[in-house]
Structure 1
Amino acid sequence: MPDHSNRPVDPDFAVGEYQAAFSDAYPLLLISEASLNDLNNRLPEPVAMKRFRPNLVVNNTKPYEEDSWKKIIIGECEFQVVKPCSRCILTTVDPETGEFSGKEPLRTLATYRKQSGNVMFGQNLIATIKGKLEVGMPVEIIS
């Protein structure tokens, strides 16, 4: 990918020379299966994880446990949990069909995940130590 395609991440949340590409603001988005299950229990009809387009999905957590994480390690990689991900209208579009589904899941998320006027779901991360990730690797919560 050409260098001009990269964008710096918001320096208010991540200090350093971190960049994002092919994403709105941060290079990595983490969501737990437990958080999605909690949301789906509140929705009239469940939505798939792909609706939120995360690139890291974790399991064996409590719902929204990832909100309290600051630093995690997966394999040889270390990640800083930078900030909650503010969600936009794209979460109401099925990425496979392109079909708009009305106001869900944003409407429901807004009832219990609103912060400073934004609907939050998932956590934005930056890699402080890069390496190879594989499906099924354990996640170590450092702080």
Structure 2
Amino acid sequence: MISIFEVMTELESMAARLAASRMSADMREELAKIHRRSEAYVPTEDFEKYDVANKAFHELIYRGSWNDYLERSVKDVRGRLRVYRRYPFQKPGRIRQSFSDHAQILDAILKGDDKAAGDAMRDHISIGGRVFADLVAEMGRRP
């Protein structure tokens, strides 16, 4: 599973990098709207609703990369991790951190800064991978 997270991290980073230079103005506006709507779920830590918004945010970035193969690949990898993807949002403060990460990704995409977008996405996904590794370690300690 850790290996899959590593691959997903790079695919997501690539998607953000390409989206920063290829995403249409309409798509950029929609990405900003999704981000603004998701803010309502941060104070209440409503991980069910935030998870839906999170998926929409990421999938628009995939589409905005204008690389069909990359989009299919990253969705396939995310699908393999589907069971574990929601766990990080249940950790206290994780939704707030995710929202903050999304703000950095969005800012870089809106500016057309492909390097910053890729780096911000890599950091964002890497945190989820570390939280997942914590879950695996925690499961090993349970009787």
TM over 0.5: no
**Greater length-normalized contact order (CA 8 Å, ≥ 6 residues apart):** 2
Higher strand share: 1
Higher helix share: 2
Whose radius of gyration is greater, 1 or 2?
Answer: 1
| Shorter-chain TM band | under 0.3
> So what's the TM-score if we normalise by structure 2?
0.26
> So what's the TM-score if we normalise by structure 1?
0.26
